[in-house]
Amino acid sequence: MLDWLAMDASALPIAAISYLAGGIPTGYLVAKQVKGIDIREHGSGNPGTANVYRTVGKGAGIVTFMVDALKGFLPVVLASHYFPGDDGVMVLCGALAIVGHVWTIFLRFKGGKAVATSAGVFLALAPKPALFAFIVFGVGVALTGHISVGSMAGALLFPFFVVGFGSPKPVIGLAFGATLLILIRHIPNLKRLLKREELHFSGGDGPGSDAAKKS
């Protein structure tokens, strides 16, 4: 019991780092640097990859996605280095990176939708299931023109990929938790999709796009 408590306490610094790393507001910083705007006041208002891509540009969107993914990937890799073989600590650090991204301390606890950072986390924890989920994401975006559809489709199927590849129980638990969080964060997108007001991937002239820009 005392050994477990000591191990748990020793993981606190890396856990805190994971939350803070996840909370780095990439989209907000990129939009400020490139266009001098507050991304939360443009497009869908979300400081994530899709809104940065549409509002600021392709390059800015790609940078936002890559950095947001690294925010999830690196804490897990760091945890695996200092706590090799300890799935619990790795999952904890991954979960805190996701939480930090969604509820970032740097933007008054209002962050992104967890997709890119979750992708980074699971690229480290469960790379094969993550690859399959990314393929589903790509197909969803290609067929509909909506990043939100690809994100929800990939997230919805991801836990089943994780189970199918025999991932450890802590990883499976986090997969289901991340999926639920991503779907909840996409409820506004789902409502706009049903009203045909959701912004397209290019930010183009989809039905009702003006209404979506105001939402």
Q: What is the pLDDT of residue 9?
A: 81
Q: What is the pLDDT of residue 200?
A: 76
Q: What is the pLDDT of residue 201?
A: 64
CA 128 to chain centre: 17
Q: What is the DSSP string of 28-71?
A: HHHHHHHHS--GGGSTTS--SHHHHHHHT-HHHHHHHHHHHHHH
Domain housing 29: 2-214
The whole-angstrom separation of Cα 173 and Cα 78 is 20
Helix, strand, or coil (residue 110): coil
Burial of 30 by CB count in 10 Å (0-12 exposed, 13-18 middle, 19+ buried)? Answer: buried
Q: What is the pLDDT of residue 209?
A: 38
Q: Which helix (H) or strand (E) holds 4?
A: helix 2-10
- The model's pLDDT over 170-211, given as tens digits with 9 standing for 90+, comes to 999 999 999 999 999 999 999 999 998 887 766 543 333 333
pLDDT along the chain (215 residues), means of 10: 57 95 98 96 91 94 97 98 94 97 96 97 98 97 94 98 97 98 96 87 43 36
Phi, psi for residue 27 in degrees, rounded to 5: -60, -40
Pure H helices in 36-167? 49-55, 58-82, 87-102, 115-125, 127-144, 147-164
Q: What's the structural domain count of the chain?
A: 1
Q: What is the pLDDT of residue 204?
A: 43
